[in-house]
Structure 1
């Protein structure tokens, strides 16, 4: 990415997210900044947790960094998608609505171009096929169970004390 494009995109964000609302909404700056910070923090945390519980978890399998896939995950792309994702709260219309059906993460990965409104009907079919071919399909009862599994993974990583290296290139 060029520095010009980066600078342009940052200026655009600053203009449409901060300058235009301050100028056109004509609300007190204290109210604007309070609302802005609350919405940024809430949506940022909400999205982060929504994405993390489905991928960074003690109940799914995945490979980290640039190392080769572990033998558990070698094989077909679709099997990798199933093993490296976690579903939760399949029976909750509220959770499905609030997450945009991303509580059906496996279905989302296998069929990204299908409307999320169909995920609840597609997931049982995938589960049946996984059962037939002995592929682990992980679905937890609730968001909170998925969140606890996420925290457990973070705790396990902290206890393991593995160093992290970043490969640029």
Structure 2
């Protein structure tokens, strides 16, 4: 038995696609990273988040004003994550490594951890997409069944009904428990994470202290603890639903595949790039406002194939990727609208809620995990 899951098939698809994408950038003379549009969007998103926070802390004088401020702050927190942090953490924001780190570090300033994101998201999710136990985006501690390879439990029959309430807890659970468990336990499920360097430990703990100071302690000093806890929880409930829905639409849906490694060799009988396309679904290509708001994450196929290219280029690249997929007989799937994509996700949840005829081949990936470094 090997220690690492491997994609063993070879395909001319990705070399050909990369050549076409290289040709696009050579012709347009555009940088692969962000352009002035991304820098302007960064200013809008970060200013909006700070403005929402300041409004809540110093200017909201009624329950109605507080509710409006909570909604605005929760949404703008997602905008920063989708548009600024995500590109930065992937090294796609700028050609400057320091600027990429700074933009990725906005996650820490909103309660998360860029150090953990780079290992769990960049290292695991982007390598082992939809591979049970290794793709941490599929894991919910058994609360939901998001892959046909996961064990069915009695309560899963109700998951289409409790999915949204559970999604709402996503960022709340993230900032109060999951980061600490992964950081100090050095594990992401069956995968051992690398030992953090001293600077990363200082950055992790310093950002956590700063976050709790501005998000909870300062507002509680002004308004009292109970009002602040209520507003804080509401912000995370909003952010949790928005973030979860956007990310679930790409992989936990109809018309995508769930590769299963061979139990003995750890081999996946597919090429990595082909698997990235076929485990991912796009949606709402024509909705420019939606694309702007969610950082091009309705073009997840393009993102998975080229994570170090900024999302501002995805609409143009999608035409190239779609044509290459057609030429190489690779299944490229895109839901026409956001509504259709949400409906497909909940149909998938209903499919996974049904008791399967036979149990899944569980426990394969945990024996094939290896140490992950970003």
Q: Does the C-alpha gap of structure 1 residues 129 and 91 become closer, same or farther in structure 2, counting only changes over 3 Å?
A: same
Give the structure 1 partner of residue 153 of structure 2: none
Distance 1:109 1:23 in 2: 39
Task: Give 1:31 deviation, angstroms.
Answer: 2.9
Give the TM-score, by structure 2 length.
0.39
Kept after mapping to 1: 8 A contact 2:284/2:337: yes
Pairing 1:33–2:229 present: yes
Distance 2:270 2:205 in 1: 44
Task: Give 1:63 deviation, angstroms.
Answer: 2.4
* Aligned counterparts, 1:51-90, within 5 A: 51-63=247-259, 74-90=269-285
Kept after mapping to 2: 8 A contact 1:74/1:80: no
* Aligned counterparts, 1:90-105, within 5 A: 90-105=285-300
Task: Give 1:11 deviation, angstroms.
Answer: 6.6
Pairing 1:135–2:330 present: yes
Q: Does the C-alpha gap of structure 1 residues 132 and 22 become closer, same or farther in structure 2, counting only changes over 3 Å?
A: closer
- The count of residues paired between Structure 1 and Structure 2 equals 163
Pairing 1:16–2:210 present: yes
Q: Does the C-alpha gap of structure 1 residues 83 and 40 become closer, same or farther in structure 2, counting only changes over 3 Å?
A: same
| Unaligned residue ranges in structure 2 (runs of 5+) | 1-179, 186-200, 370-374
Distance 1:113 1:132 in 2: 24
Give the structure 2 partner of residue 145 of structure 1: 340
Pairing 1:6–2:200 present: no
Counterpart secondary structure, 2:250: coil
Once the two structures are superposed, residues 29-73 of structure 1 have per-residue CA deviations (whole angstroms, 9 ceiling, x without a partner) of 233112211111111121111111100112211226x556xxxx7
Distance 2:240 2:361 in 1: 24
Larger RCO (CA within 8 A; separation ≥ 6): 2
Q: Does the C-alpha gap of structure 1 residues 158 and 22 become closer, same or farther in structure 2, counting only changes over 3 Å?
A: closer
Q: Does the C-alpha gap of structure 1 residues 38 and 164 become closer, same or farther in structure 2, counting only changes over 3 Å?
A: farther
Give the TM-score, by structure 1 length.
0.81
How big is the alpha-carbon RMSD for the aligned residues of Structure 1 and Structure 2?
A: 3.0
Range with bigger deviation, 39-48 or 55-64:
55-64
